[in-house]
Amino acid sequence: MDVDPDGGLHGDYKLKLNSYDLGVDIELADAIQRLRFEHPEVGAVVLGSMKERVFCAGANISMLAGAPHPLKVNFCKFTNETRNGIEEATAESGQRYLAAINGTAAGGGYELALATDYIMLIDDGSASVALPEVPLLAVLPGTGGLTRLVDKRFVRRDRADVFCTIEEGIKGSRAVEWKLIDELVPGSTFNERVADRAAEFANASLRPAEATGVTLTPLNRMFGENGVDYSSVAVTIDRDARTAEILIKGPTDSAPADPEGAVSAGADWWVLRLARELDDAILHLRVNELEIGTWIIRTEGDLDAVLDHDRFLHEHAGHWFVNEVMLFWRRVLKRLDVTSRTIVVLIEPGSCFGGTLAELGLASDRTYMFLGTTEDDDRLAVLALTDSSRGVLPMSNGLSRLATRFWGDEEGLRAAEDAIGVRLDADAAMEAGLVTEIYDDIDWDDELRIILEERTSFSPDCLTAMEANLRFPGPETLETKIFGRLTAWQNWVFQRPSASGETGALRRYGTGLRPEYDKRRV
């Protein structure tokens, strides 16, 4: 990291000491993505700093103090997703991440290191790791620090409590003893030891060193006043209704003949191109269209062609590039899972909800399917589950979306899994418990209008909380704790006067004035 102090995304603040804002994290996410797709020869990644005696000072405090609340929350959510991407690259792609801490790693800087698989700290008498948000800023470590301390690094609970309440952090042998880092290295041999450790990790990686990478070319997109058009996705916003329709267009060509054909198609291969465009559309709506509370997802295209590409993904799952594309879809769907918008999927005649695209229906809050035909169209709406629904695209709770949908209902889960490989009409999909409701031509428009108008009338805050609670039944994992428990608390803490009020810690940080806290425990 070598963050330009004048490179802030918005506002009047300086990104000193490798502190970061959303713009910096967008660059980091892009770099991680490109390492996975464009550099199959890379088996180890070292996260380091080009600034002397400073690794990373974490999220920029002036940015947090001045940012409106939705930007704070979206910033934390995106940075969490980026750190989860680092961990997935290590676990699933064979790119093992190592943090080389050459100085101070504070707050989000240490949280960035926590996302790696191995942490090395220079032993120079002053370098330290710290999570000082509670004593300094009256907020929580917002990108998984609390959870990773105890759930990933197995730091003892009482030690974690002490660590999170001291401003200066911990350094030296104590950091090793407390499991805050993996290795303490003398300054005279730091760079050499980091290089040796990275080489050790790279040599153990199964990444194909001789493979040709795939360049992630710029997205083809056009922004309008009320939407965005991509090659395979079209977003149309109805500002009066506060809804956005996301139309996904199926492939116009068949799947590649072999993995090398997929590599040759590169970023233009429909499966990858669609994943990138849908990911971009989700992020655009999430960050820039805050009042558009309901997303309606539709598809159109040749279901056979969609299933052909889906079959290809599973037949060649062992190929590094095909695997990366499937892992990318996993991340896109997880991003949809944790997005604070109502997700409604409409399965209609001419739609192509099959394979990976069928997961969109399982990810939605409600799914409605058209029953029968119309006077002008004799096609039936069809839903087609494949092996993509068997667990290769798990949610943050570690379960497939089918297993999550039928949590505690083994009979229902078996019936739904029996439907895999079968093209289901509306009655069959309803019988299998895969859709919320089915409506015929007479009721379709009126029922949907009533449903969407009712949704818009509810409190957005209540809907966000309700949806987040309902989407993740079953076991709790590091990810669900971060996105559910931690993010919910951080969301609340950010709004409290102790943090964000005129005399709060965020606003008084660096002024020499002590913050004033509301002393009531509530």
User: Whole-angstrom Cα distance, residue 108 to residue 106?
Assistant: 6
Name the nearest CA neighbour of 426 among 366, 374, 367, 382: 382
Q: Work out the average pLDDT over 348-365.
A: 98
Q: Where are the alpha helices (DSSP H) in 140-291?
A: 145-151, 157-163, 172-177, 190-204, 259-265, 270-288
Q: How many helices (H) and strands (E) does the chain have?
A: 23, 18
State the Cα–Cα distance between residues 318 and 299, nearest whole angstrom. 29
pLDDT digits (tens, 9 = 90+) for 293-312: 999 999 999 999 999 999 99
Give the residue-averaged pLDDT of 358-387. Answer: 96
Q: Which of 5-9, 10-14, 75-79 has the lowest mean pLDDT?
A: 10-14
Share of the chain above pLDDT 70, in %: 100
Task: Give the torsion sign (CA, 103, 202, 3, 494).
Answer: negative
CB atoms inside a 10 Å sphere around CB 398: 16
> What are the tens digits of pLDDT across the range 90-135?
999 999 999 999 999 999 999 999 999 999 999 999 999 999 999 9
State the average pLDDT over residues 176-196: 98
- CA torsion sign for 250, 256, 258, 263 is negative
Whether 224-470 and 16-202 are alike in CATH topology: the answer is yes
Residue 165 burial (C-beta neighbours within 10 Å; 0-12, 13-18, 19+) = exposed
Q: Evaluate whether 506 touches 138 at the Cβ level (below 8 Å).
A: yes
Give me the sheet containing 366-370, strands edge to edge.
Answer: 221-224, 227-230, 233-238, 243-249, 294-300, 342-347, 366-370, 437-439
The answer to whether 426 touches 371, Cβ cutoff 8 Å, is yes
What does the pLDDT read at residue 11? 79
Q: Cα angle vertex 236, ends 28, 251, to 5°?
A: 75
Kindly tell me if the per-residue pLDDT of 52 is higher than 90: yes
Question: Which pLDDT belongs to residue 188?
Answer: 97
DSSP code for 182: S
Give 32's pLDDT tier (boundaries 50, 70, 90): very high
Question: How many CB atoms sit inside 10 A of residue 71's CB?
Answer: 19
Q: How far from the centroid of its chain's Cα atoms is residue 443's Cα? A: 37
Contact (CB, 8 A) for 322 and 266 = no
- How far apart CA 251 and CA 275 sit, in angstroms, is 12
487 pLDDT tier (thresholds 50, 70, 90): confident
* 179 dihedral zone (left: phi>0; alpha: psi -120 to 50; beta): left
In the structure, what pLDDT confidence band is assigned to residue 514 with cuts at 50, 70 and 90?
Answer: very high
User: In 10 A of CB 310, how many CB atoms?
Assistant: 21
What is the average per-residue pLDDT within 430-444? 97
Token duo for residue 148: 């990773």
Share the mean pLDDT of the chain.
96
CA 85 to chain centre: 7
Coil, strand, or helix at residue 432? coil
CATH superfamily of the domain spanning 224-470: 2-enoyl-CoA Hydratase; Chain A, domain 1 (3.90.226.10)
Q: Is pTM, for the whole model, over 0.85?
A: yes
pLDDT band for 147, please (50, 70, 90 cuts).
very high
Query: Token match 């990444």: residue?
Result: 207
- Which of 337, 283, 285, 338 is CA-nearest to residue 29? 283
DSSP string, 222-257: EEETTEEEESSEEEEEETTTTEEEEEEEPPSSPPPS
Burial 234-258 (b: 16+ CB within 10 A, else e): bbebeeebbbbbbbbbbbeeebbee
Its CATH architecture, for the domain 16-202, is Alpha-Beta Complex (3.90)
| Percent of the chain scoring above 90 in pLDDT | 97
Task: Taking residues 76-97, report their average pLDDT.
Answer: 96
* Mean pLDDT score, 216-233: 97
Q: What are the backbone angles phi and psi of residue 152, rounded to the nearest 5°?
A: -110, -45
**Which residue's entry shows tokens 């409409």?**
346
- Which residues does 227 contact at the CB level (< 8 Å), separation at least 6? 234, 235, 236, 237, 244
Query: Is the distance from CB of 255 to CB of 308 less than 8 angstroms?
Result: yes
Spatial CA neighbour of 255 closest among 310, 323, 215, 213 = 310
Distance of CA 177 to the CA centre of its chain: 32
Q: Residue 10: its pLDDT value, please?
A: 86
How do residues 263-275 score in pLDDT, each as one tens digit? 999 999 999 999 9
Q: In this predicted structure, what is the pLDDT of residue 245? A: 98
Question: What is the Cα–Cα distance from 259 to 473, expressed in whole angstroms?
Answer: 36
Each domain of the chain, given as residue ranges in start order, spans: 16-202, 224-470
| Confidence tier at 522 by pLDDT (50, 70, 90) | confident
Report DSSP letters for 445-460, one per residue: HHHHHHHHHHHHHS-H
Q: Interhelix angle for 69-92 vs 22-38, to 10°? A: 20
Distance CA 80, CA 71 (A): 14
pLDDT band at 488 (very low <50, low <70, confident <90, very high): confident
State the average pLDDT over residues 33-44. 98
